[in-house]
Amino acid sequence: MNKQAFEIQPPPLPALDMSGAVDGVLDVSNSDLKPAVTSNPWAQPRLWLEAAGIDNSGQNHTITLYESQTATPEQQAHGFNTPIPREELLNFANKSTFHIKGKIAFDGNSDETATELFPPLELTIINQKEKLYELVDFDDQTYGGWTKGPGGVELQFVLDAPGDYALFNNTSDVGGQHKGIVLQKTFPTTVGEIYEVSVDVKKVNAGTPHAMLFFSIDNDNSPINTISKLTWTNLKFSATAASNTMVVALNNDQSSTNGNDFTINNLLVKSAL
């Protein structure tokens, strides 16, 4: 009877995963996140595990989690659940790709060249909060995504200087309602971050009563500003985001028509420094 020798192949290794990653992106700009490498269980005695990518200077950066370490009974029964220090992940370049690489030695040998590889895991890392900065200068004669409210029904683009357009609020309709939201827009935000809105404004004529402008960010309102100067004045207001979006509005608390005319420019919403 002929005998044939068969090489015993090791069982396939489970896929690696990262807790906290969504669609291949790990966002560690949130300080509450506690990322960890996870997997299904396996049976083997010796492990190697690392995260490898590039740092902000473009140099290779490696986080060594296990180097020829004997697997614990917990790992053999339940798989990886290995935290990666957030402080180490912050050293990777923002929006760069990094890889989780795992190896095992089925025979327990410490020779890394004789190991089997886990299926590699590739992730994109975000370790800096995106700073909001959106300036609308009206030079393209659009509202930049802002929408008009009842206090801005007569808005029109005017040429304030050669090549420099501004937005004029003309309250000429005697029977109109000019009190209320002039412009508003919803922005994405990060809970707990401070955001600032500002605008340049000036009165258009010497009539009275004056426009009375204020900002609102969700439920927070700025003090009311009486617009009485015929020269540019900058209005500012800031508030802390309580959710993942915020509604910013420029409002007018004056309903009259005669002196209630004003021009705005350089409407800016940004993350506070």
Q: 109-150: per-residue pLDDT in tens?
A: 888 888 889 998 999 998 877 789 999 999 999 999 999 999
Segment among 7-16, 66-75, 106-115, 135-144 with least mean pLDDT: 7-16
- pTM for the model: 0.61
Q: Distance (Å, rounded) from C-alpha 58 to C-alpha 217?
A: 40
pLDDT (0 to 100) of residue 10? 63
Query: How many angstroms from the chain centroid is the CA of residue 95?
Result: 12
Q: Distance (Å, rounded) from C-alpha 107 to C-alpha 99?
A: 25
Domains and CATH numbers, the chain: 16-126 (2.60.40), 133-271 (2.60.120.260)
The radius of gyration of the chain from alpha carbons, rounded to an integer in Å, stands at 30
Does the pLDDT of residue 1 top 50, yes or no? no
Inter-residue contact 11 to 111 (CB < 8 Å): no
Structure tokens at 182: 């002039």
Q: Distance (Å, rounded) from C-alpha 215 to C-alpha 248?
A: 7
Q: Tell me which amino acid residue 135 is.
A: L
Average confidence score pLDDT of the chain: 89
Q: What b/e sequence results for 253-268 when a residue is b if at least 16 CB atoms lie within 10 Å of its CB, and e otherwise?
A: ebbbbebbbbbbbbbb
pLDDT (0 to 100) of residue 174? 58
Q: Distance (Å, rounded) from C-alpha 38 to C-alpha 158?
A: 60
Express as a percent the part of the chain with pLDDT over 90. 60
Nearest to 130 by CA among 187, 61, 185: 187
Biggest CA-to-CA distance, the chain: 113
Nearest to 251 by CA among 217, 223, 220, 213: 213
pLDDT in tens, 175-218: 667 899 999 999 988 888 899 999 999 999 888 999 999 999 99
pLDDT (0 to 100) of residue 243? 87
